[in-house]
Amino acid sequence: MELIMANKDWNPELYLKYHNERTQPSIDLISRINFSNPRNIIDIGCGPGNSTQILVDRWPKSKIVGIDNSPAMIQKAKNDFPEQEWKIMDANNIDIDEQFDIVFSNATIQWLPNHEILLKKLKKLVSEQGLLAVQLPLFWDMPLGKSISQISRNEHWKTFTSEVSELFTIHNSSFYYDQLSKLFSSVEIWETDYIHILDSQLSILAMIRSTGLKPFLEKLENDYDKISFESEVFNTIRKEYPFQKNGKVLFPFKRLFFIAGN
Protein backbone atom coordinates (compact mmCIF):
# COMPACT_ATOMS: atom_id res chain seq x y z
CA MET A 1 0.00 0.00 0.00
CA GLU A 2 1.42 3.35 -1.07
CA LEU A 3 1.94 5.92 1.66
CA ILE A 4 1.65 9.63 0.93
CA MET A 5 3.27 11.53 3.76
CA ALA A 6 1.04 13.76 5.84
CA ASN A 7 2.31 17.33 6.17
CA LYS A 8 1.20 20.08 8.51
CA ASP A 9 0.16 22.13 5.49
CA TRP A 10 -2.45 20.87 3.02
CA ASN A 11 -1.59 19.11 -0.23
CA PRO A 12 -3.48 20.83 -3.07
CA GLU A 13 -2.62 18.17 -5.68
CA LEU A 14 -3.82 15.33 -3.46
CA TYR A 15 -6.93 17.30 -2.50
CA LEU A 16 -7.82 17.97 -6.15
CA LYS A 17 -7.32 14.34 -7.16
CA TYR A 18 -11.00 13.97 -6.27
CA HIS A 19 -12.01 17.34 -7.70
CA ASN A 20 -15.49 16.32 -8.83
CA GLU A 21 -16.43 14.72 -5.52
CA ARG A 22 -15.20 17.75 -3.55
CA THR A 23 -16.73 20.37 -5.86
CA GLN A 24 -20.24 18.95 -6.30
CA PRO A 25 -21.42 20.06 -2.81
CA SER A 26 -20.37 23.63 -3.67
CA ILE A 27 -22.36 23.45 -6.89
CA ASP A 28 -25.41 22.18 -5.01
CA LEU A 29 -25.14 24.77 -2.24
CA ILE A 30 -24.66 27.66 -4.68
CA SER A 31 -27.63 26.51 -6.77
CA ARG A 32 -29.86 26.96 -3.71
CA ILE A 33 -28.74 30.54 -3.02
CA ASN A 34 -31.43 33.02 -4.05
CA PHE A 35 -29.49 36.23 -4.63
CA SER A 36 -29.63 37.80 -8.07
CA ASN A 37 -26.78 40.30 -7.96
CA PRO A 38 -24.57 40.16 -4.84
CA ARG A 39 -22.23 43.10 -4.51
CA ASN A 40 -19.45 41.05 -2.92
CA ILE A 41 -18.75 37.48 -1.76
CA ILE A 42 -16.21 35.88 0.55
CA ASP A 43 -15.26 32.20 0.25
CA ILE A 44 -14.02 31.10 3.68
CA GLY A 45 -11.67 28.13 3.49
CA CYS A 46 -11.37 28.42 -0.27
CA GLY A 47 -8.62 25.79 -0.54
CA PRO A 48 -7.14 25.69 -4.06
CA GLY A 49 -10.03 27.76 -5.40
CA ASN A 50 -12.26 25.00 -6.79
CA SER A 51 -15.36 26.16 -4.90
CA THR A 52 -14.57 29.81 -5.59
CA GLN A 53 -14.79 29.19 -9.34
CA ILE A 54 -18.39 28.04 -8.97
CA LEU A 55 -19.13 31.36 -7.28
CA VAL A 56 -17.35 33.24 -10.07
CA ASP A 57 -19.30 31.36 -12.73
CA ARG A 58 -22.62 32.11 -11.02
CA TRP A 59 -21.90 35.78 -10.26
CA PRO A 60 -19.15 36.96 -12.66
CA LYS A 61 -19.75 40.66 -11.89
CA SER A 62 -19.42 40.30 -8.12
CA LYS A 63 -16.29 41.11 -6.15
CA ILE A 64 -15.13 37.75 -4.77
CA VAL A 65 -12.30 37.07 -2.33
CA GLY A 66 -11.08 33.63 -1.23
CA ILE A 67 -9.35 33.12 2.12
CA ASP A 68 -7.57 30.10 3.58
CA ASN A 69 -4.96 29.57 6.30
CA SER A 70 -2.94 27.18 4.10
CA PRO A 71 -0.10 28.88 2.18
CA ALA A 72 0.08 25.90 -0.19
CA MET A 73 -3.63 26.09 -1.01
CA ILE A 74 -3.55 29.86 -1.56
CA GLN A 75 -0.45 29.56 -3.75
CA LYS A 76 -2.21 26.91 -5.86
CA ALA A 77 -5.25 29.18 -6.19
CA LYS A 78 -3.03 32.13 -7.20
CA ASN A 79 -1.21 30.01 -9.76
CA ASP A 80 -4.40 28.65 -11.34
CA PHE A 81 -6.54 31.80 -11.06
CA PRO A 82 -4.14 34.77 -10.92
CA GLU A 83 -6.80 37.32 -11.85
CA GLN A 84 -8.75 36.69 -8.63
CA GLU A 85 -8.23 37.90 -5.05
CA TRP A 86 -6.74 35.44 -2.55
CA LYS A 87 -5.63 35.97 1.04
CA ILE A 88 -3.88 33.79 3.62
CA MET A 89 -6.10 34.20 6.66
CA ASP A 90 -7.36 32.18 9.62
CA ALA A 91 -11.09 31.55 9.20
CA ASN A 92 -11.56 31.83 12.95
CA ASN A 93 -10.05 35.34 13.01
CA ILE A 94 -11.03 37.04 9.78
CA ASP A 95 -9.35 40.44 9.64
CA ILE A 96 -11.40 42.17 6.95
CA ASP A 97 -13.14 45.48 7.59
CA GLU A 98 -16.00 44.74 5.22
CA GLN A 99 -19.39 43.03 5.12
CA PHE A 100 -20.46 40.69 2.32
CA ASP A 101 -23.73 39.94 0.59
CA ILE A 102 -22.77 36.25 0.55
CA VAL A 103 -20.56 34.66 3.20
CA PHE A 104 -19.80 31.22 1.76
CA SER A 105 -17.94 28.27 3.27
CA ASN A 106 -17.64 24.76 1.87
CA ALA A 107 -16.24 21.94 4.06
CA THR A 108 -14.26 24.23 6.36
CA ILE A 109 -15.99 24.99 9.65
CA GLN A 110 -15.61 21.39 10.89
CA TRP A 111 -11.94 22.32 11.48
CA LEU A 112 -12.89 25.26 13.73
CA PRO A 113 -13.85 25.12 17.43
CA ASN A 114 -16.91 26.43 19.27
CA HIS A 115 -19.51 26.85 16.56
CA GLU A 116 -21.85 28.89 18.73
CA ILE A 117 -19.22 31.64 18.87
CA LEU A 118 -18.10 31.01 15.28
CA LEU A 119 -21.58 31.56 13.85
CA LYS A 120 -21.81 34.88 15.68
CA LYS A 121 -18.49 35.90 14.10
CA LEU A 122 -19.70 34.90 10.66
CA LYS A 123 -22.95 36.79 11.21
CA LYS A 124 -20.94 40.01 11.65
CA LEU A 125 -19.51 39.52 8.15
CA VAL A 126 -22.97 39.36 6.55
CA SER A 127 -24.35 42.58 5.06
CA GLU A 128 -27.77 43.96 5.97
CA GLN A 129 -29.48 42.12 3.11
CA GLY A 130 -26.95 39.31 2.92
CA LEU A 131 -26.79 35.63 3.77
CA LEU A 132 -24.54 32.89 5.13
CA ALA A 133 -24.19 29.64 3.13
CA VAL A 134 -22.28 26.68 4.61
CA GLN A 135 -21.64 23.00 3.93
CA LEU A 136 -19.83 20.61 6.25
CA PRO A 137 -19.27 16.83 6.18
CA LEU A 138 -21.04 14.71 8.78
CA PHE A 139 -17.91 12.59 9.12
CA TRP A 140 -18.80 10.90 12.39
CA ASP A 141 -22.18 9.76 11.02
CA MET A 142 -20.38 7.65 8.41
CA PRO A 143 -19.17 4.08 9.07
CA LEU A 144 -15.63 5.04 8.06
CA GLY A 145 -15.54 8.04 10.40
CA LYS A 146 -16.72 5.91 13.30
CA SER A 147 -14.10 3.26 12.51
CA ILE A 148 -11.25 5.77 12.33
CA SER A 149 -12.28 7.25 15.67
CA GLN A 150 -12.36 3.78 17.22
CA ILE A 151 -8.98 2.81 15.78
CA SER A 152 -7.45 6.03 17.12
CA ARG A 153 -8.45 5.01 20.65
CA ASN A 154 -7.03 1.48 20.42
CA GLU A 155 -4.26 0.60 22.88
CA HIS A 156 -1.55 0.76 20.22
CA TRP A 157 -2.45 4.27 19.00
CA LYS A 158 -4.20 6.12 21.79
CA THR A 159 -1.05 7.77 23.16
CA PHE A 160 -0.77 9.70 19.89
CA THR A 161 -4.24 9.83 18.34
CA SER A 162 -6.90 9.35 21.02
CA GLU A 163 -7.73 13.07 21.13
CA VAL A 164 -7.56 13.81 17.42
CA SER A 165 -11.31 13.30 16.96
CA GLU A 166 -11.81 16.31 19.22
CA LEU A 167 -10.10 18.52 16.62
CA PHE A 168 -13.26 18.19 14.52
CA THR A 169 -16.34 20.23 15.44
CA ILE A 170 -19.48 18.77 13.86
CA HIS A 171 -23.01 19.16 15.21
CA ASN A 172 -26.39 17.98 13.97
CA SER A 173 -29.06 19.97 12.17
CA SER A 174 -30.93 20.69 15.41
CA PHE A 175 -27.91 22.49 16.88
CA TYR A 176 -27.32 24.62 13.80
CA TYR A 177 -30.99 25.52 13.46
CA ASP A 178 -31.19 26.65 17.08
CA GLN A 179 -28.06 28.79 16.75
CA LEU A 180 -28.91 30.27 13.36
CA SER A 181 -32.53 31.06 14.20
CA LYS A 182 -31.30 33.35 16.96
CA LEU A 183 -29.09 35.26 14.54
CA PHE A 184 -30.98 35.34 11.23
CA SER A 185 -34.56 35.93 10.12
CA SER A 186 -34.64 32.92 7.75
CA VAL A 187 -32.96 29.53 7.92
CA GLU A 188 -32.90 26.71 5.37
CA ILE A 189 -31.16 23.48 6.37
CA TRP A 190 -30.80 20.07 4.71
CA GLU A 191 -28.64 16.97 4.42
CA THR A 192 -27.48 15.08 1.33
CA ASP A 193 -26.00 11.61 0.95
CA TYR A 194 -23.54 11.61 -1.94
CA ILE A 195 -22.87 8.14 -3.33
CA HIS A 196 -19.38 8.44 -4.77
CA ILE A 197 -18.58 5.77 -7.35
CA LEU A 198 -14.87 5.01 -6.98
CA ASP A 199 -12.50 2.70 -8.80
CA SER A 200 -11.35 0.71 -5.79
CA GLN A 201 -11.30 0.46 -2.01
CA LEU A 202 -7.88 2.11 -2.11
CA SER A 203 -9.56 5.09 -3.76
CA ILE A 204 -11.57 5.65 -0.57
CA LEU A 205 -8.35 5.70 1.44
CA ALA A 206 -6.76 8.12 -1.02
CA MET A 207 -9.79 10.41 -0.92
CA ILE A 208 -9.83 10.78 2.88
CA ARG A 209 -6.04 10.85 3.25
CA SER A 210 -5.94 14.56 2.39
CA THR A 211 -8.86 15.48 4.68
CA GLY A 212 -10.42 13.37 7.46
CA LEU A 213 -7.43 11.05 7.90
CA LYS A 214 -4.80 13.80 7.71
CA PRO A 215 -4.79 14.98 11.38
CA PHE A 216 -4.47 11.38 12.64
CA LEU A 217 -1.42 10.70 10.45
CA GLU A 218 0.18 13.97 11.53
CA LYS A 219 0.23 12.78 15.15
CA LEU A 220 2.26 9.68 14.34
CA GLU A 221 6.03 9.87 14.69
CA ASN A 222 7.41 7.79 11.82
CA ASP A 223 6.61 6.29 8.43
CA TYR A 224 6.15 2.80 9.84
CA ASP A 225 3.41 3.96 12.23
CA LYS A 226 1.69 5.94 9.50
CA ILE A 227 1.64 2.89 7.22
CA SER A 228 0.40 0.68 10.06
CA PHE A 229 -2.40 3.09 10.99
CA GLU A 230 -3.47 3.39 7.35
CA SER A 231 -3.44 -0.40 7.06
CA GLU A 232 -5.89 -0.71 9.95
CA VAL A 233 -8.13 1.93 8.38
CA PHE A 234 -7.93 0.14 5.02
CA ASN A 235 -8.97 -3.15 6.64
CA THR A 236 -12.17 -1.48 7.85
CA ILE A 237 -12.74 -0.02 4.38
CA ARG A 238 -12.50 -3.52 2.90
CA LYS A 239 -15.19 -4.74 5.29
CA GLU A 240 -17.55 -1.75 5.12
CA TYR A 241 -17.34 -0.85 1.42
CA PRO A 242 -17.52 -4.03 -0.73
CA PHE A 243 -16.93 -4.21 -4.47
CA GLN A 244 -19.90 -3.90 -6.79
CA LYS A 245 -20.49 -6.49 -9.51
CA ASN A 246 -18.63 -4.36 -12.06
CA GLY A 247 -15.62 -3.88 -9.77
CA LYS A 248 -16.45 -0.34 -8.64
CA VAL A 249 -16.91 0.67 -4.97
CA LEU A 250 -19.69 2.87 -3.59
CA PHE A 251 -18.65 5.41 -0.95
CA PRO A 252 -21.67 7.12 0.65
CA PHE A 253 -20.70 10.50 2.04
CA LYS A 254 -23.14 12.50 4.19
CA ARG A 255 -23.07 16.31 4.20
CA LEU A 256 -25.08 19.02 5.99
CA PHE A 257 -25.99 22.36 4.38
CA PHE A 258 -27.53 25.55 5.64
CA ILE A 259 -28.40 28.97 4.25
CA ALA A 260 -29.32 31.72 6.72
CA GLY A 261 -30.41 35.18 5.67
CA ASN A 262 -30.97 38.55 7.32
Q: Is the pLDDT of residue 4 over 50?
A: no
Q: Mind listing the pLDDT tens digit for each residue in 236-259?
A: 999 999 999 999 999 999 999 999
Question: pLDDT at residue 91 above 70?
Answer: yes
Structural domain including 235 reads: 12-261
Q: Is residue 231 part of a domain?
A: yes
Question: Does residue 67 lie within any of the structural domains?
Answer: yes
Asked if the model's pLDDT at residue 55 lies above 70, the reply is: yes
Q: Could you tell me if residue 4 is inside a domain?
A: no
Residue 2 lies in a domain: no
Residues 190 and 138: their CA atoms lie apart, in Å, by: 12
Q: Is residue 187 part of a domain?
A: yes
pLDDT at 19: 60
In a domain, 3, yes or no: no
Quick check: is 5 in a domain? no
- Confirm whether 256 is domain-assigned: yes
Where residue 191 falls among pLDDT bands split at 50, 70, 90? very high
Rounded to an integer, the average pLDDT of 226-241 is: 96
Please state, rounded to an integer, the average pLDDT across all residues of the chain: 91
pLDDT of 10 above 90: no
- Residue 245, domain CATH: 3.40.50.150
| pLDDT for 3 | 39
- Pairing between β-strand 126-137 and β-strand 100-106 as defined by DSSP bridges: parallel
Cα–Cα distance, 241 to 160 (Å, whole number) = 27
Per-residue confidence at 220, pLDDT binned at 50, 70, 90? Answer: very high
Backbone angles phi, psi at 128, to 5 degrees: -60, -35
**pLDDT score, position 14:** 52
- Name the pTM for this structure: 0.90
As for how many domains the chain has, the answer is 1
How many percent of the chain have pLDDT more than 90?
Answer: 82
Most confidently predicted of 47-51, 128-132, 149-153: 128-132
Region 125-141: mean pLDDT is: 96
Start-end of H helices in the chain: 12-16, 19-31, 50-58, 71-80, 115-125, 143-152, 158-161, 173-183, 201-209, 214-218, 223-240
How confident is the model over 90-106, as a mean pLDDT? 94
